[in-house]
Amino acid sequence: MGVDEHMGQTVFLHSDLDCFYASVEMMLDPRLKGKAMAVTGSTEDRHGIVLAKSYEAKAKGVKTAMANWEARRACPGLICVPPQYDQYLKYSRLVRAIYLRYANDIEPFGMDENWIALNGCGSVAKGGYEVAEEIRKTVKDELGLSVSIGVSFSKIIAKLGSDMNKPNGVTVLDENNWKEKVWPLPASELLYVGPATTKKLAMLNVHTIGDLARFDPEIIHTKLGKNGIALWRYASGNDMARVSPTDYVAPIKSVGHSTTCVVDLDNEYAVWLVLYELAQDVGQRLRENELAARGVQLTVKDKDFGWNQYQTQMKMTTQNSLEIAQTAFALFKARYSWMKPVRALAVVGINLVSDNQPVQLDLFNVSARHEKWRKVDSAVDEIRRRFGYRAIRAASLLGDLKMAQDKCESVIMPNFMYQ
């Protein structure tokens, strides 16, 4: 397990910054330290939920994803601050730079979590622990942030360890003690075991990670397919996944953008405007990555949080925002029943191919129109690159789009099954 024939045993660390958003806010404003505070989305923009909270707020019942009004009811006097995503990204990069002092391969899992591969450091219990302790102290001393770290022979087991001694702790799960500490945990604690999978496992009388590890893998495969076998391997400590190289970029399989609307949308034109604005971002990112979409996926969330997802193929691949928006809007008109007003929308370009791939010519000169749009898009991209995203826009998008504005930059997520 986790053995590199040239370097000896690979030790895996999983680092998890404690209450990351809240910790950054308290570090930036020391007046918040020791107080019940939470980082919350904008109530006005309908993102009124708790994104992160201090341990003092947690002790009074405040939970992540709780509505702002619920959090204030649970914790009278709760201090709510808006998110500063630029600062979170800044400190995420600074923390990762510290990790690179100790290892060459760092794999991010969002802004606040990373896997770190240590080669040639000795055993999990000794060398791995010593490096983890040094990292923990360095992050605290240099950035004022606390990090909890799991140390193990497996990526999955290391991640479980980082949750066991919070905040600001190190947990070692080696070949001698991991079953004793991990197997009694609920199966839902295992990475990639969500609510639906938890229910399926419960129907098999699998309630703990140990239950899953001891279960017949053939039955798991029958009930859950190849993903079930992967989960069985994780629970059994047989995860062979490596930490992806620091410079590794996972292939892009889809490009999308979504928003929660500031008011419920109750007519098709309002929906069209939002879809067109979302498609602006999708088209631009497709062009930046020299990709084209062969299909479009549309997700619609209604005012009561019910959601529907639709998708369709296109006759020709495209990177054009207008075509993507038109396809998404046609899907909406054909499939959405308007039983309830629309609260949120997402547009995703799917079935991506290289933009350099040859295109079959057509009898109706559609490819010629595509080439004209390509030139227009290139000119628009260049203007935006030089003068900013809002330097040139469609006239229809200059009004009130009913869209939330508290956006966060995208963060590279790992290809977890990197081999």
Tokens of 172: 């070692």
| Amino acid in position 212 | L
Catalytic member of 25, 56, 113, 277: 113
Active site residue 113: yes
Helix (H) or strand (E) holding 370: helix 366-387
b/e 116-148 (16+ beta carbons within 10 angstroms → b): bbbeebebbbebbbebbeebbebbeeebebbbb
Handedness of CA 384, 404, 400, 326 (dihedral sign): positive
CB-facing half-sphere around the CA of 172: CA atoms within 13 A: 16
Show Cβ contacts of residue 141 under 8 Å, excluding neighbours closer than 6 positions: none
| Amino acid in position 290 | E
Residue with tokens 């009898």, as numbered in its chain: 363
DSSP β-bridge partners for residue 308? 300
In the DSSP assignment, the letter for residue 251 is: P
Burial (CB count <10 Å: 0-12, 13-18, 19+), residue 294: middle
Q: Are 262 and 319 in contact (CB under 8 A)?
A: no
Residue 146 φ/ψ region, left for φ over 0, alpha for ψ in the -120 to 50 degree band, beta for the rest: beta
Helices 366-387 and 268-288 cross at an angle (nearest 10°) of 80
d(CA 194, CA 207): 13
CA torsion, points 54, 58, 64, 69, in degrees to nearest 10? -100
186: preceding bond cis by omega (within 30 degrees): no
Which string of DSSP letters, residue by residue, matches 142-158?
HHS--EEEEEESSHHHH
Tokens of 380: 């628009």
The catalytic residue positions are 113
